[in-house]
Amino acid sequence: MIEPISDADLDRVTAAVAALKPEPRKRRWVSVTFCVLDAVWSIGSRYDSTVVPVVKRVANDLGVHEASVENSAPATADPVPLQRFLDTYDVDSLTGRTNRQRTSTSGGALKSEAALEYARILVRHGIHTIDDARSALTDLALFERVETDLSGVPGDGSHGIRRSYFWMLVGDDSRVKPDRMVLRWFASHQLDLEPDQAARLIARVVERLNSASDGSRITAWEVDHALWNAGRGIPAARARR
């Protein structure tokens, strides 16, 4: 698609997004370890049948029986700091507790290997807990160093979707994950976009929605999640029409 899109298309898409009634996040993971697992396994996997069970199996191994909580719940100490995760698993044992999915269909690394490398990089930069990860979001120099190293982990892709999603899981509401479900939703509305184009369009939609609001603010996370949920219900063949 050639950018910029027309004002008419922007109006049409903004109205369609508003009709989805984006809502704030309802639940969050209690540990940065679970954010790493979700970010790595979610690429190219079914979320409810693959990603959530992966996280919950690891959580149960480590004695955490409530891996996620209501987003409004009071903050608590991270029950599984990344070093504990690294001390518990190597590639073989983590693969045995999760699955043998790879970061690419063309012979990529095991996702278990990528998750452990994510954890090692974060620890190397002093990020051990979910609070550490949230603090990194406000330290631009540290954030850029971490981003550079994470981008070298197999499966990063050409658009950095996995990294953006990791920070979303940590708590950054300004980021988006323009994955195949989000792109499918746009395609169903006659917009054939690349992930970076989708991210920019979401930012414009958020700006439009907030400029017309009654004072309540909609975040990029909320729009992205609404699109992702809607995209899951659209057959791929229909999206291509």
Tens of pLDDT, residue by residue over 33-80, are 999 999 999 999 999 999 999 999 999 999 999 999 999 999 999 999
What number of other Cβ atoms are within 10 A of residue 29's Cβ? 23
pLDDT tens for 154-208 read: 999 889 999 999 999 999 999 999 999 999 999 999 999 999 999 999 999 999 9
Say if residues 43 and 114 touch (Cβ distance below 8 Å).
Answer: no
Q: What is the extent of the structural domain holding 195? A: 7-25+177-239
One domain for residues 87 and 39: yes
HEC profile for 10-30? HHHHHHHHHHCCCCCCCEEEC
How many residues make up the chain in this entry?
A: 241
- Whole-prediction pTM value? 0.92
Report phi then psi at 109, rounded to 5: -70, 155
**Same domain? 33 vs 44:** yes
Q: What are phi and psi of 68, to 5 degrees?
A: -130, 155
User: 205 with 228, same domain?
Assistant: yes
Same domain, yes or no: 43 and 124: yes
CA 114 to chain centre: 15
1 lies in some domain: no
For residues 138 and 188, membership in a common domain is answered with no
